[in-house]
Structure formats: structure tokens, C-alpha cells
Structure 1
Amino acid sequence: MPGYEMFEYQLVLAVPESLKEKVRRVRSQFAEICKVPPASGSVILPLVKFRQRALLEERLRFSLGEMITGWCPFLVQLKDFEAQPTHSIFIPVANKNLIRQHINDLKTIQHLLRPDKEHAAFFSPEHRLYLATKLNHGAFEKGWKEYSHRQFTAQFIADACLLLKRKDPTLPWQIARRFEMRNLPVGIKQGTLFQ
């Protein structure tokens, strides 16, 4: 039925193209060194991933827009490499506190981030850009031996979020909406003149 179709969404920080390209180069070098296929996933910093029906998308966009417009742009710093033992190597966000505050803000509207109680939203607990995932043991050992001592630094001003959407998990993500952080007061109600 139209309007009741289910879509998958993710809200991510907008990462500048120059940083995406830098991470793609590092991924490519890693693939060469470890003799694995280069990571094909997007260079994104997710905040929340959820499912919702099409008929609620407009209300969802409005609520997200109201919230994100009130956020102040902030500096995101990426530093060095870390690993999840035996399978993944990534570049962590060094200053996670502001991202965590924004995730707490998003939790206040989580009733809009799920179609029902069985499909809860997934709020990203970790903030990182993946270099490689699902590595076999040999590739992980070789890669971590090489990258545990390497340095990487990058930073950017997070000034927008992207709402990504797809109907089917086999399809690529599409940008449904861009929300700018403008540090504007939101949710202020005008007082009455006379009581």
C-alpha cells in the first residue's frame, strides 16, 4: 500500500570530499599492502540508523530539521588507527563528546525513528571511519602490524548532516535531505501579551 512502504534510513555527519578522498587513498594503500580487495563502503560517520514508513518521512524531516538547525557546527578530529581485534581496522574520532551529545538529542525523538516497538533505532556507539572490515586472521595480523605504528591526522568542521535512504538493503544509499547546523534557537514559543 502506498505510504506504508518501509524504508531504511541513516543520519550521518556530512564529511567533506577532500577527507573522503584522503581516506580512500589510505584504504587503497592498505589493500595493496595486505593483498585484500579495497573497502567499498562509503566514508561516513553515522549517528543513527533506523527503519520507517514512507508516510512519516515528511514529519521525520521536519523534526530532524528543527533539531539540527539548533546545533552549533563543531570540529571533528580524527587521529591514528585502532582495531577491533581479529577483523577491523579504523580511524577513530578523537573528540567524541559533542557527537555523543547530538546522539542524546536524537534519542528525544526516537518515537519517529522506528515504525513500531520491535524495530528500535540503532544509535551508533562508536565514531570511526573504517579502513577495512571483515578481514581474515592473516590479513588482520599483517595490516595491524603495519598500521598500529602509523600516524594519521585529519579534521573538519561538521556543519551539516545527511539523511540517507534506501528501500532495499541491496541498493545504494541515496541522499534524502541535507540539514545545515546553524546554531539557531529552536522550539521557542512566543509569550502571550496578557494573561
Structure 2
Amino acid sequence: MQVHQSIGEKRQEGFFRYSSMPGYQEHEYQLVWSIPDAVKEKIRKIRMGLQEKYPMPYGAGQQVLLPLVKFRQRQLLEERVKQSIYQLATGWRPFQIRLQDFAAQPSHSIYVPVATRASSYGNAGFAGITRDLKSIQLLLRLDKEHTPFFITEHKILVAGKLPSHVFDKAWLEYSQKSFSAQFLADACLLLKRSAGNPNWQIIQRVELRNLPVGVRQQSLFEA
């Protein structure tokens, strides 16, 4: 007996054929700050301590990231994305980022927030950078269902996806703890990963140089 494919099955088959074509593979990307090793090590020790006391699989070994924007895009647009981010980031002026104490997102996550009153220029820096990134949001949009996510609450995750009973105990302790770290935000990293891969790969590093538009364009041409 002949079995006919449904419309949905045909669409799904067409999608997989389309997405397997060269250049049409989809990837996850995120633009993050380049964090000094000393600061990352402090965060890792906090994660390890929490893991030892509350043994749950919340990724103590995951990368220490402070993201600016997350998005999905196809391989064929990767170079355009890299060029656009380069032109933006080389025009940004380096500034100090201060991490202070702990905060929580009830009832599943604990994180280290960026201090909102670190400096007036620091706040303006984050706002201006987000505004610049939104100017290229069409390039960062895969389709209507996958639009870029611009970070508005800047933070480094310590523990996420916690069961509520574990979160309650851990937050009771960490809400009383203090933490402080500071570093110069002078470079960004563009990260990429493919479906099924938990690790992020660095595909571009851009230094903040406070260059005017004309010099940025010339610098990109020479690169």
C-alpha cells in the first residue's frame, strides 16, 4: 500500500534539504565582553563552591560570559555580521565595568550584576552600545520568529535553572555574601556555536578604539 506524505512532512523535508545547502546552515551567535582571566577565575570559584554545597547540574564549568546581544543567523551572512560589528565596536570608547555582589531571578537563577552606578560614563556606554547594535538588527534577524535579543540587564550567570527548593537555600546564603570585581571593557568577542554543540567558539575579537566613522571604514578596508 502506498503511503502519501502529508503537507507538513513535505514542508519539513524541504526545510531540512534547504538548511543543509552550503551557506544556509543556521548557527547561534552572541557578542560578549572580553573578560580578564583573573575575573573569570573568581566567578569559576564561586560556581564551584555553590556546586559543592548544592550538588545540582547547573553548569559550574560553563564559560563565563557577559553578553551584549544574542541572535541566530545563517552561515552565508556571517562575514557581513562580522564586518558590521567591527565597524561599530571600533568606534566605542573603552570604559570600566564593575561587578558588585549577587542578585537573583526568582526562583531559578543567581548572578553577579553589573553595578548600575559604577560610573555615569559606564551607564552611557552600555546604552550607547545597545543603541548602535540595534541599528544593525535586521542583519542579526534570522526570520520573524528568530529576532536578536538585546541584553538590558547586564550580568554574569552563577547558577541557572535551579529547582525552587535548591534556589531557596542557595539564595538565602548568597544574598548575604559580597563580591566585587572591576575590569576595563576594551574588547568584544563574537561567539558562535552550531546545533547540538554546548561550547562557544570565538570567531572574532574587536578592540574598542574610539575611532571616528571615516577612520573605522578605512581600518576595515585595510583589514
Question: TM-score, normalising length from structure 2?
Answer: 0.79
Cα distance in structure 1, aligned partners of 2:65 and 2:161: 17
* Percent identical: 53
1:30 maps to 2:17? no
CA contact (8 A) 1:90 1:130 kept: yes
Cα distance in structure 2, aligned partners of 1:86 and 1:62: 39
For each residue in 1:65-96, what CA deviation from the matched residue of structure 2 results, as whole angstroms up to 9, or x when unmatched?
A: 01100000111000001111121111100037
Count residues with an aligned counterpart. Answer: 189
Aligned-partner SS, 1:29: helix
Cα distance in structure 2, aligned partners of 1:145 and 1:117: 41
1:137 maps to 2:157? no
2:54 maps to a residue whose letter is C
Change (3 A) 1:171 1:133: closer
Corresponding residue for residue 25 of structure 2: 5
What runs of 5+ residues in structure 2 fail to find an aligned partner?
Answer: 1-20, 117-121, 218-223
For each residue in 1:89-121, what CA deviation from the matched residue of structure 2 results, as whole angstroms up to 9, or x when unmatched?
A: 111000372223211110001111013333211
Question: TM-score, normalising length from structure 1?
Answer: 0.90
CA contact (8 A) 2:29 2:191 kept: yes
Is the radius of gyration larger for structure 1 or structure 2? Answer: 2
What runs of 5+ residues in structure 1 fail to find an aligned partner?
Answer: 190-195
1:54 maps to 2:75? yes
Corresponding residue for residue 193 of structure 1: none
Which structure has greater strand proportion? 1
1:19 maps to 2:29? no
For each residue in 1:1-59, what CA deviation from the matched residue of structure 2 results, as whole angstroms up to 9, or x when unmatched?
A: 21222221111111111111110001111122223345232110111111112111111
- Of 84, 91, 94, the match for 1:63: 84
CA contact (8 A) 2:44 2:61 kept: no
User: How big is the alpha-carbon RMSD for the aligned residues of Structure 1 and Structure 2?
Assistant: 1.7
CA contact (8 A) 1:39 1:133 kept: no
- Any residues of structure 2 matched to 1:110-149 within 5 Å, and which? 110-149=137-176
